[in-house]
Amino acid sequence: MKKSVVNLKTKIEILIYHKPVGEICSSIGTKKNTSVYESLPPRNEGKWIMVGRLDVNTSGLLIFSNNGDLVQKLSHPSSMIERNYLCRIFGNPTKSQIDNLLNGVEVDGKRSSFDKLISINKKSNAQNTWYRATLHSGRNREVRKLWESQSLQVSRLIRIGFGPIKLPENLGSGQYKTLDKNEIKKVMKTVGLED
């Protein structure tokens, strides 16, 4: 009779979720807001662990994994992972405001800046301006606070990328998808956890 082998090394899974505005990044919802976890598929073993968070008014890419080491590596500032956002700014930022945001300003007592800011879909008479923003840190409400440091208001904020993971255009708000083997390999390589 053949002995059955117990697999002690659980297969790493990564799930990406398109968070809608209004959902909260907490394990339990409130009367007012549902939790992002309520939209995820249940797990047979272990649990989904979230990589970072998005505030209630921010939508876009959220990442979950069943592997704590991977989540820790992806979340930690020392990994220097690029985060990409689409920001809709009320008004028209001046060149000096943009320069300040790229050169660095003080946010919550720490120096902070965007790595890149690219203006998109600019119409001269528009009330809002869209920017593609990139930064390497992900402190609490950092993107909004950076813009606010220049007296500019963010009217919409969407996270569209996190390291090698991009928010697919065909992944609707409130939908999720699991990454395949090759996509997971790419993420593991980014944080130096290749098998």
* Residues annotated as catalytic (active site), given as ranges: 55
In terms of Cβ atoms closer than 10 Å to its own Cβ (0-12, 13-18, 19+), residue 3 is exposed
d(CA 53, CA 117): 22
144: three-class secondary structure by DSSP: helix
Helix extents (H) in 12-103: 68-75, 95-103
Dist CA 176 CA 16 (whole Å): 6
Q: How far apart are CA 67 and CA 71, in angstroms?
A: 6
Is the separation of the CB atoms in 169 and 86 below 8 Å?
no
Tell me whether residue 39 is exposed, middle or buried, using C-beta atoms within 10 angstroms of its C-beta: 0 to 12, 13 to 18, 19 or more: middle
